[in-house]
Structure formats: structure tokens, C-alpha cells
Amino acid sequence: MKITVVDPDLLSREGLRALLGIKGYLVTAASEIQEGLRLARSGKAKMVLLRLPPPQCLEAVRLLRADREVAKTPILLIADGGPQGPFREAMEAGATDWVSQPYEVRDLTEKIRTILESNPGEIRP
């Protein structure tokens, strides 16, 4: 299954790519949302994982939900301290779920597995 990771921090982005790759996922990664949106579209991602600052996170969720090709793709947020303020708004704008940062690898991979299993098959419009 393909997952698109959007994270402006190179080390974190590459760490997520490696971690998810070890777990058997095909990962595309971007440092900013426009590139992430392009990758999610072209790679037919089954999930988009966002690790962005709060205002950018909200903007990213809105852009993803407004795009016909990826509007129904699950979005998982990695949020500092949980969904408060702009992260809460991102959840209300259509993010599927969130993981608090710092996160346990097991918690992150379990959340991804659970979301993907609850959205079997093609979930695009």
C-alpha cells in the first residue's frame, strides 16, 4: 500500500519513509503540501500522513479534501500534544485521525494499519 508523507523536516521525513518502508509500505515523501498533493495523486496513495506546523496542517487538510482525486483518502496527522487549536480545526476539516508527538513507533504503525483496514479497497470517489 502506498502512503504519502508530508513533513518539512528532512530527518523526520526520511525517518518516517524508512520506518514505513520496513513495515512494507511504499512511501512517497514531500517537504511541502503542493508536492505532497501531486505525489498523492500520481501515486494513488491509500493514506496521507501529515507532520506539519498547525496552520500548514489545516491548509493541507483543506486542500486534500477539496481535490477530487484524493478527497476521500485517509489523512493521519502527527500533532504536537494532540488535536488542539489549528490541529482540532484540521480534524474538523476532514483529517481522519491523529497521533500525538512524540509518538511510539508501535502506536503510529497500529494507527496506520487500523485506518487502512477500515478503508478496504478503493476509497476514492
Q: What is the pLDDT of residues 16-26, one digit of tens each?
A: 999 999 999 99
Is residue 59 situated within a structural domain?
yes
Position 122 pLDDT exceeds 50:
no
Is residue 125 situated within a structural domain?
no
Q: What share of the chain is helix, strand, coil (3-state, %, to 5)?
A: 45, 20, 35
Angle between helices 10-22 and 105-117 (to 10 degrees): 60
Q: What is the pLDDT of residues 19-54, one digit of tens each?
A: 999 999 999 999 999 999 999 999 789 999 999 988
Q: Domain range spanning residue 70?
A: 2-117
- Specify the number of domains making up the chain: 1
DSSP, collapsed to helix, strand or coil, labels residue 104 as: coil
Q: Measuring CA to CA, how many Å separate 108 from each of 42, 64, 113?
A: 25, 21, 9
- State residue 3 phi and psi, 5-degree precision: -125, 135
pLDDT band at 125 (very low <50, low <70, confident <90, very high): very low
Give the mean model confidence (pLDDT) for residues 113-117: 93
Is residue 122 situated within a structural domain?
no
Give the mean model confidence (pLDDT) for residues 109-119: 92
Is residue 6 situated within a structural domain?
yes
- Rounded to whole angstroms, the Cα distance separating 29 from 99 reads 18
Is residue 124 situated within a structural domain?
no
Determine whether 19 is exposed, middle or buried from the number of CB atoms within 10 Å of its CB (0-12, 13-18, 19+).
Answer: middle
Give the mean model confidence (pLDDT) for residues 94-112: 91
